[in-house]
Amino acid sequence: MIFLVLVYTNIYIKMNDSNEIMLSTKLNGVIDDNILYKGYTSIKMRGDSVHWKIEPSSNYDYNPNEFGNFIKKNDKLIKHRCSDTLFVIRNNKSYEFLIGDSSYNYEKRTKEREEYLKTQKRIFNENNDCND
C-alpha cells in the first residue's frame, strides 16, 4: 500500500512540475520518460531535465490511439515552433498527433465538431504565444 502511495505521489509531482507545452515550444529529441495521468502526458527528452506536459491527444488511425499510451521510450519526438502537431518517429515511420485533439481521425467526427474543438484547444487559446 505504501508503495502505491509513493508511486502515485511521484506521478502527481512530475505532472505538476511539468512545463506546459506552448504553441512556440520546439521539441526535437528522443523520449527518455513518459507518464500518462488523467489524459495528460508528461514527457522528458533525453539529455533534458525538463518534463513537458501535453494536453490529451489521440489519433484514431493508431492503436493505441491516445498519445500517452502510444509513445515509447526511445521514440523520437518532433514539434515545430508555432505548430500544434507532434510527430513521433519510430522505426523510420512517422506518426502524427494534434495537441489537445482527442478525436483526430475519428470516423464520426463532423466538420462542425472539428471547428468547435479548434476553439477549445488550449494550445490555440491561453497557450498561444505565437501571435506576435
17: three-class secondary structure by DSSP: helix
Q: Per-residue pLDDT tens for 37-88?
A: 888 899 999 999 899 999 999 999 999 999 999 999 999 999 999 999 999 9
Give the sign of the dihedral formed by CA 11, CA 96, CA 132, CA 25: positive
Q: Per-residue pLDDT tens for 76-129?
A: 999 999 999 999 999 999 999 999 887 777 777 777 877 777 777 777 777 788
Radius of gyration of the chain (CA): 15
* Strand pairing report for 19-20 and 51-54: parallel
For 12, list phi and psi in degrees, rounded to 5: -60, -45
Cell digits for 59? 489519433
123: three-class secondary structure by DSSP: helix
For 32, list phi and psi in degrees, rounded to 5: -105, -30
